[in-house]
Chains A and B, each alone.
Chain A
């Protein structure tokens, strides 16, 4: 079950007079580990908001597994397999950790059958991610790393073909970053395409097979991690002249 090819063509997004994305194109192959980096304000989050459907676009085309998804609502994109996690975790605070996972299982993964099955499956996911001991607590009682894991676990419950991880590691210690990386590697081994947006260079460079660099809403470089490190335009974007 390998799928999850994402093609973005000439994507443009404006906020009033400000052009956040200016004709961005990218092609993420199925099963790929894809890195998306760039300085603050370069349009990374706007790009994934457009891909996930949280924002409408002002031009361009988004195709997922060959199907045009530019105009369909976000929840339907999730059902097709485009799932994102949030930079600032947005758990369902009135529910337990387990119930948080039942929502995507029920709504996105099309498992509206039996609630007991959903709960069992949610528990499985929590086990693989190492959160099973917290299954019956509310998100308010979680630590920072557990919150990130919940965010990923909930995304997993939606049965993604393409997982967009928006800064899942910001603010974590290096040991914790490794934890999350291990989880993402394991997901990728199962055939899930992953786009990682990250500021922690050590993590992106280790994880990605291919990286694209955005600056001021335009792609300035694309290539393997090694090529990106040696690219002078990237250096300029991050450090200035």
Chain B
């Protein structure tokens, strides 16, 4: 109970800190870059609920992210819906897609599941490319409504992302400590044994894919307002899929803090590299770091820190 209370305090502190940061009048670029890092905290945490806790590696992260973004675009085009509605709707639609891929786990395990999610991403991108209402292949320009909170859209979106990141991490934290988390861990170790020990594996997997999908959609929903111009190849960018997988792997997949560490470190490194060296260097950094970690520290940074203490 003490720990739960402490967690709540930390969450509140982070949100208040975010609002305070947003009221500071520093260079807007910092909010712009901070948004991306926070967005990756959400994406990595969401990926990890399925990939880390349940052991089902999703290569189609970009599909869920983009679906959130395109749901938002549709609602903006059709109803000029406000931001909270966009975020909720983006989450729900992607959550539904998550539920769908959850049923795939009945027949597809391991690498075959991963291939299916990758294929899903390609199929969805093709569909969006041919849907003119949301811009089709040439993309769509989104006009931000005037006079937002904090006097500026970038500052507002930054604050919103702080809130979403805290929410995502809290969800992961709760799952990890609950009987659901322990059940997912059992099925990651051995699905057959888990089922025979009374764990309702299908229901837990559906839960994991749905929550994971929901959070990925949530991360993608503010994207149109952030970039103001969305086209399929940016929303379905492979970066999301690669980062979503690399960040938890680098941080450590077994705890909620792993994806956060990975996202902050790798996300920041990418932002710095984009400014100082070249924007093309991003994926190279991810690739090299990922290979290094897979070989040298398969349990990520969390594993490195824990090892000296034994276990």
Contact = CB atoms under 8 A, between A and B. Distances in A.
A92 B185 contact: yes
Interface in A133-157: 138, 154, 157
A157 B193 CA distance: 13
Contacts of B200: 73, 75, 107
Interface of A: 52-54, 73-75, 78-79, 83-84, 86, 90-95, 99, 102-104, 106-109, 112, 138, 154, 157-158
B182 interface: yes
Given A73-B202, A92-B185, A158 B197 contact: yes
Nearest to B187: A92
Given A52-B196, A74-B195, A84-B196, A103 B186 contact: yes
* Central interface residue in B186, B193, B196, by most chain A CB within 10 Å: B196
B198 A93 contact: no
A122 B185 CA distance: 18
B199 A75 contact: yes
B196 A107 contact: no
B182 A158 contact: no
* Central interface residue in A75, A84, A90, by most chain B CB within 10 Å: A75
A104 B197 contact: yes
Contact of B185 (A52, A95, A138): A95
Contacts of A86: 192-193, 196
B159 interface: no
Contacts of B194: 92, 103
* Central interface residue in A52, A106, A154, by most chain B CB within 10 Å: A106
A67 B194 CA distance: 23
A112 B185 CA distance: 17
Contacts, number: 77
B188 interface: yes
Contacts of A73: 195, 200, 202
B198 A79 contact: yes
A78 B185 contact: no
Contacts of B186: 92, 95, 103
A158 B192 contact: no
- Chain B interface main SS type: helix
Contacts of B188: 94
Given A78-B196, A154-B197, 10 more contacts: A54-B196, A73-B195, A75-B197, A83-B196, A92-B190, A94-B254, A103-B186, A107-B179, A107-B183, A108-B198
A53 B198 CA distance: 11
B77 interface: no
B197 A78 contact: yes
B132 interface: no
B192 A54 contact: yes
Interface string B135-157: 00000000000000000000000
Interface in B148-190: 179, 182-183, 185-186, 188-190
Nearest to B189: A92
Given A92-B190, A103-B183, A78 B254 contact: no
B179 A106 contact: yes
Contacts of A79: 198
B201 interface: yes
B254 A104 contact: no
B202 A78 contact: no
B197 A107 contact: yes
B50 to A, nearest CB: 16
Contact of A108 (B179, B192, B197): B197
Contact of B182 (A52, A83, A106): A106
A75 B194 CA distance: 8
A150 to B, nearest CB: 11
16 contacts: A73-B202, A74-B195, A75-B195, A78-B195, A91-B189, A92-B190, A93-B189, A94-B185, A94-B189, A99-B182, A103-B197, A104-B197, A104-B198, A106-B182, A108-B197, A112-B179
B189 A95 contact: yes
A217 B185 CA distance: 36
Nearest to A102: B182
A54 B197 CA distance: 12
Contacts of B182: 99, 102-103, 106
A158 B201 CA distance: 16
A8 B199 CA distance: 25
Nearest to B190: A90
